[in-house]
Amino acid sequence: MSPLRQLALTPGWIYETVVCTDVEGSPHASPAGVWTTDLRSLSMALYDTSRSLPALLAAGEFVVDLPADAGAFFLALYDPSALSFGRASVVSAPCLTDATATVELTVAEATAHEGKTLVTGAVRQVTTRGRVRLINRAEGLLVESLIAATRAGLHSRESTLALVTENARVAAKVAPGSRFATTLTRLRDALAQES
């Protein structure tokens, strides 16, 4: 069985996670979108300005944590001292103690391209803690778009259509083929016909 199957990831979808590495001898966490194509590896595109990127490339290993909620992203960005770290069991990297799942990886490939580096990590260990929480932006984008559509009379039709169009584009990127992406396309088309 492939190691990621227990997480119920959909290949090709982008999930919001927290990547953990040691930076200058201290645990460091950074939000990152990750995806799998084969349920044996995870890929992500990190900006070349990321503090995580040189650390994980130098170490050759890192952790991807699936947080319990989006609050972990805020803490990683704006209040990292509030995060609670432990150590991964197989690779030499920190992990979030309150994550619903920890995926331990070794760097399999890194390719630089236009200010970003595509990093693919081979899965070494998956640890779950209770019910795993997957965070994908598509469902939230649909909710945001539906609310905007119900208020279209309060704002210009053009601005509402522009918002829904952008949300449909992003949903198709982060959850291709999902009912969320399909519904957003239908909503965009319905709003366009009303204009």
CATH number of domain containing 81: 2.30.110.10
- Same-domain status, 31 and 101: yes
CA angle 144, 148, 153 (to 5 degrees): 175
- Same-domain status, 74 and 16: yes
Backbone angles phi, psi at 129, to 5 degrees: -130, 90
Parent domain of 157: 137-194
Strand-pairing partners, residue 112, are 117
Report how far apart, in Å, the C-alpha atoms of 75 and of each of 35, 80, 169 are. Answer: 22, 5, 28
- Same-domain status, 14 and 66: yes
Residue ranges in the chain assigned as alpha helix (H)? 52-59, 71-78, 137-150, 157-174, 179-194
Q: Which of 128, 147, 166 is the last residue of a domain?
A: 128
The predicted pLDDT at position 1 comes to 65
- Same-domain status, 27 and 119: yes
Confidence bin at 178 (pLDDT 50/70/90): very high
Contacts of 117 (CB under 8 A, 6+ apart): 45, 46, 48, 53, 57, 110, 111
- Same-domain status, 142 and 167: yes
Q: Which of 88, 107, 128 is the last residue of a domain?
A: 128
Note the pLDDT tens digit of each residue in 28-41.
Answer: 999 999 999 999 99
Instruction: Kindly tell me if the per-residue pLDDT of 125 is higher than 80.
Output: yes
- Same-domain status, 81 and 166: no
Question: How much is the average pLDDT of 172-181?
Answer: 97
The predicted pLDDT at position 129 comes to 93
Q: Which of 80, 102, 128 is the last residue of a domain?
A: 128
> Sign of dihedral through CA atoms 42, 108, 122, 83?
negative
- Same-domain status, 141 and 48: no
Note the pLDDT tens digit of each residue in 73-94.
Answer: 999 999 999 999 999 999 999 9
Confidence bin at 195 (pLDDT 50/70/90): low
Query: Which one is predicted more confidently, 1 or 183?
Result: 183
Note the pLDDT tens digit of each residue in 141-165.
Answer: 999 999 999 887 777 888 999 999 9
Whole-model pTM: value is: 0.93
Note the pLDDT tens digit of each residue in 106-115.
Answer: 999 999 999 9
- Same-domain status, 122 and 143: no
The predicted pLDDT at position 3 comes to 84
The encoded tokens of residue 192 equal: 């366009």
Cα–Cα distance, 79 to 47 (Å, whole number): 21
Note the pLDDT tens digit of each residue in 40-58.
Answer: 999 999 999 999 999 999 9
> Sign of dihedral through CA atoms 29, 35, 41, 45?
negative
Instruction: Give the chain's mean pLDDT.
Output: 95
The predicted pLDDT at position 155 comes to 74
* 174 C-beta neighbours (distance < 10 Å), count: 21
Note the pLDDT tens digit of each residue in 12-26.
Answer: 999 999 999 999 999
- Same-domain status, 119 and 141: no
Cα–Cα distance, 51 to 20 (Å, whole number): 11
CA angle 159, 163, 166 (to 5 degrees): 135
Report how far apart, in Å, the C-alpha atoms of 108 and of each of 12, 61, 116 are. Answer: 18, 9, 17
Provide the number of structural domains found in the chain: 2
